[in-house]
Structure 1
């Protein structure tokens, strides 16, 4: 990457330098997650635990029943908690996306880079600004109806990845560029939403599905530890999902630039000329 020592050590690239299918994009996200599993999962675990703590506060204030009794109340009673969860998820994925975006460049170019070096490139201060902004806007968008949240998630979700991989100058430019790339054919937005729904199903199975098995074993009794077990199960499922979705955003940015900006052609030309190919990942500021 630009600013690194000359002649970085080469490793096999794990992300393809070509347009990919939806399935290949999901596979690429998993490959990137496996390469950067330790920092991504640790950060995701801390953030997921914080989310569960915030939801517990909201649930206590709204006098909600235990989460495993959610069917005993109407959706209107749970809606503030649902809106809070969606808003926090948008912010958490954005925060993790900053690290994933910084890691995506080396993964695409086949350059060795330590977790610490990637972290230094993740621009946490600016990424936090974007994450807080998205969370603040996502809450009323989700509370007023899911359409606003879907649009926000689909159009602005690449902002932190753009901030760290494209190295744009400020958060505002990152948000604008995210919208521009996402609306071109709406492919990025559609795959982002699809990925979110896929992982929502997985999280639901991991967070709630096991209760059916426990009910068969325990005779559908509800021991005192069930509330803590449900919270832990959701936090664990969210940890993996948030990290994977952040990596999907990084893969989608590369794929969008290949499809709309000819990134693959530019990088191949740069390689044939012996130029610094990493400099091509940086867009004009």
Structure 2
């Protein structure tokens, strides 16, 4: 499958962006899903431990209580939203490397290419370190400010990988790109997340309903609902996190095509027989991390 078939080098509709993200994941599914599964497994081990250790606090203390301590659910939400934004940010690294190779129509990169070779993990972890307190704080504010944060930080790591930006430049440029064209990239990111959130909500409601209906007949469900949910979340999150990371990478490329004429740069380089440099004009002095120096 050629790069143009995976990621069309033209402005796309929102539906086409989602299709392109799915195509990118399909083209590199083995390393991307492997990395997503590993991170999602660590997340669910921690989250399941947290849920099990605080489960007793949810037991109603007297008739009329919906739950014993609503603050526990709030804690679950804060920790869960924080871990989710961390995992997706980390997965943006291999997804952006895959998008970089796809745009340049290079052979499919290996696991080492996507995760290890010339990856500025120090800078990426610096972004994560900034996001952890911001995500926890915004999630604690009833969750709504968290969606604003999530909407605008998604392009920072793709800018760092595809554009070859330094830490400070990546933060500023990532936020700027997310706000371009009426914050279109930010809207796309929230739309992708909400689509996955609805799937997880359906799984959660279905699990609770099944527990109420069948717990007395099922040795698996009775007393182990949170463990069952943990495995269900692991399965859906493995796919969702990889897909959302691919959506971030694809959205960066499409935003640059829409607002900076990246497709023209690629077409002119192909006509000259040159290897295109994906760095924006103000960063041409720095070769992108995803490819060889120009």
Offset at residue 213 of structure 1 (A): 5.2
**Structure 1 residue 45 and structure 2 residue 42: aligned?**
no
Offset at residue 39 of structure 1 (A): 1.7
Deviations 1:198-250 (A, max 9, x none): 01112223454255457656667642443321111111111111111000000
**Aligned counterpart, 1:3:** none
Decide which of 128, 131, 136 is 1:131's aligned counterpart: 128
Deviations 1:233-285 (A, max 9, x none): 111111111111000000100011011111111111111122212x1346605
Task: Compare 35-44 and 19-28 and name the one that shifted more.
Answer: 35-44
**Aligned counterpart, 2:83:** 88
5+ residue gaps in structure 2? 60-65, 287-294
Report the Cα distance in structure 2 between the residues aligned to 1:18 and 1:224, rounded to whole angstroms: 52
Report how many aligned residue pairs link the two structures. Answer: 270
Decide which of 110, 117, 121 is 2:113's aligned counterpart: 117
Note if contact 1:101-1:122 (Cα within 8 Å) is conserved in structure 2. Answer: no
Please tell me the root mean square deviation across aligned C-alpha atoms, in Å: 2.4
**Aligned counterpart, 1:175:** 171
**Structure 1 residue 264 and structure 2 residue 259: aligned?**
no
5+ residue gaps in structure 1? 1-9
Note if contact 2:211-2:225 (Cα within 8 Å) is conserved in structure 1. Answer: no
**Aligned counterpart, 1:7:** none
Report the Cα distance in structure 2 between the residues aligned to 1:209 and 1:62, rounded to whole angstroms: 19
Offset at residue 80 of structure 1 (A): 1.4
**Aligned counterpart, 1:105:** 100
Note if contact 2:101-2:109 (Cα within 8 Å) is conserved in structure 1. Answer: no
**Aligned counterpart, 2:289:** none
Report the Cα distance in structure 1 between the residues aligned to 2:27 and 2:184, rounded to whole angstroms: 26
**Aligned counterpart, 1:163:** 160
Note if contact 1:83-1:142 (Cα within 8 Å) is conserved in structure 2. Answer: yes
**Structure 1 residue 186 and structure 2 residue 183: aligned?**
yes
